[in-house]
Amino acid sequence: MPARTRQAMLDGIDKTPIIVGGYSDGHGGICPMLAAHRNGGRTSFATFAHAWDRYTQADGAARRATERELQTLRSMLEASIEAEEVVGQGVLGEAVRQHRCTQESRARREEFDVEPLPELEPRINRRLRPERTAPPARDTPVRLTAGT
C-alpha cells in the first residue's frame, strides 16, 4: 500500500470504530480501508481487506475489531512507515536508490536497445570444447603385484 494510504489508515483507526468481516456495520463501524479512504488515502486495495479478514478470522458477519487486532494493525502500519522512512534516508537510502536506478536502466536497455544476434553460421562448425588429448603421462609406471 502507498505510504499515504497507510498513514491515512492509522489516522482512521484512531478516529473511527474499526470492524472485521465487512465494509461497514450500520452502527458507525467501518473497515480499515474505508477508514483510510475517509482520511485521504484514496487507494483501492482489495488484497488488504482479504488479508485483514483472514487475520481476524472473520466469518462473514461484521463485528468490532478487538483491541489486540487493532494494536497489531497499528504496529504493522507504523513499522512499515518507519522502515520506508529509514530506507529513504542516509547512505542506505542512497544505495537503494542507485540500485533501483541501475535495475530500471538495465531493464530499459534490454527491452529497447536490443542488438541483432550475430551470424550463427560460423558457430555451427566450431567446436565448443577443445579436443581431448591422451591422458597425461605418469612419471613412474604403476606395478600391480600380488599381496606381500
| Domain boundaries defined on the chain | 3-84
Angstrom distances, CA of residue 138 to CA of 32, 42, 144: 78, 79, 15
Helices assigned H by DSSP within 56-117: 67-87, 90-112
- 30-58: b or e for each residue (b if 16 or more CB lie within 10 Å)? bbbbbbbbebebeeebeebbeebbeebeb
Whether the pLDDT of residue 21 is over 70: the answer is yes
Contact 108, 27 (CB under 8 A): no
Q: Nearest CA to 8 among 77, 65, 59, 67? A: 77
Of the chain, the percentage scoring pLDDT greater than 90 comes to 20
- Determine the 3-state secondary structure of 60 from DSSP: coil
- The pLDDT value recorded for residue 71 is 94
Model pLDDT, residue 68: 94
pLDDT for position 111: 66
Residues 6+ apart with CB under 8 A from 20: 31, 52, 53, 56, 58, 62, 63, 64, 65, 69
| Whole-number pLDDT of residue 117 | 59
Statement: the pTM of the whole predicted model exceeds 0.85: no
User: 69-124, pLDDT tens digit by residue?
Assistant: 999 999 999 988 887 766 566 677 778 778 888 888 887 777 666 666 566 555 55
